[in-house]
Amino acid sequence: MNDNPPYKITDEILTLVASIAQKIQHTADMRLLEDKPHLRRNNQIRSIHASLAIEANSLSLDEVHDIINGRMVLGPAREVQEVKNAYDAYEQLPAINPYNMKDLLKFHGIMTKGLILDSGSFRLGEEGVFSGGKCIFMAPPARLVPQHMQNLFDWLKNSCDTVHPLLLSSVFHYELVFIHPFADGNGRIARLWQTAILMGWHDLFQYIPIENQIQRFQDDYYKAISDSHIAGESTSFIAFMLHMIDQVLSEICKDF
C-alpha cells in the first residue's frame, strides 16, 4: 500500500458531500442533540445491533436492547459478550482520538474483550477472504501490518485539514478493512472509527445509525469493498458510504 491511499473525487462524490452537509445543517437547526435524547439512545442501540449483525451476530434488536439495559437474555455467550463490548466502546466514543493509533488498539481491546487471545493487538497470522473454498482476497502479510497502519495514521493526521471528513473517514474505513490488521473485529472497529472521525466534524454523528443503513445494504457494502480491491483504490467505497450517510440523514430529517 502506498503512503497516500489512492482514490478519485468524482462528481457523484461532490454532489453527495453537498447533500450531506445540507442535511446536517437542517438537523443542527432542529437541535437534535439537545432535544431528542430518546432518539439518540435508540439510534446508538440500532448502530450496535447492526454493526454486530453485519458480522453474523444473531441476536435481535430487542435482545440487544435488553442486554444493554441489564436484562437476562438467552443467547450464545459469545454474542452476548459482543453486545456488551460494543456498548462499552460506543459509550466511550467521545473519548476517542481518531488520529491516535494507540487509541485504535485500545478500542479494539474493548470491542473484542474476552473474545480473542490477541485482543487489542495487531494480528500475527495471515488472513484472507474465501468463497467456495477459493481465496478471493489475501490481506497484506502480518509482518507488514504495523508499518501499513503507521502509514495510514500518518496520512490521516497529515490530511485532516485538507481532506473533507466525509472523505477522510470513508478512505480510512476502507483502508483498515483492506489491511485487515486484526485477527477479528476489523469491520466493527472500522465502522466505529469512521463515526469517531465524523464526530470531529459534527457531534451529531455520535447518534446517526450509519451501521443500520449499511446492514440494510450489506451485499452492496461488500461489493463496494470488493470493487475497490479490484480497482486498487477506494473511490467505489467512498461513493457507497456517502450514499449510506445521505440516506440515513434523509430518514432522520423526517423525524422533525
Over the stretch 206-224, which tens digit does the pLDDT of each residue have?
888 899 999 999 999 999 9
The three-class DSSP label of residue 136 is: strand
Q: By the 8 A CB rule, do 235 and 11 touch? A: no
Q: Which single residue is written with the C-alpha cell 443500520? A: 212
Question: Strand runs (DSSP E) across 152-227, as ranges?
Answer: none
Q: How high is the mean pLDDT of the chain?
A: 91
Confidence of residue 138 (pLDDT cuts 50, 70, 90): confident
Domain membership flag for residue 170? yes
pLDDT surpasses 90 at 106: yes
pLDDT (tens digit, 9 = 90+) per residue, 69-104? 999 999 999 999 999 999 999 999 999 999 999 999
The reply to whether 2 falls in a domain is: no
pLDDT at 1 over 50: no
Number of domains within the chain:
1
Q: What is the CATH number of the domain that holds 21?
A: 1.10.3290.10
> From the CB of residue 88, how many other CB atoms can be counted at a distance below 10 Å?
13
Q: What share of the chain is helix, strand, coil (3-state, %, to 5)?
A: 65, 5, 30
194 belongs to a structural domain: yes
> What is the value of pTM for the model shown?
0.92
**Is the residue at 1 inside a domain?**
no
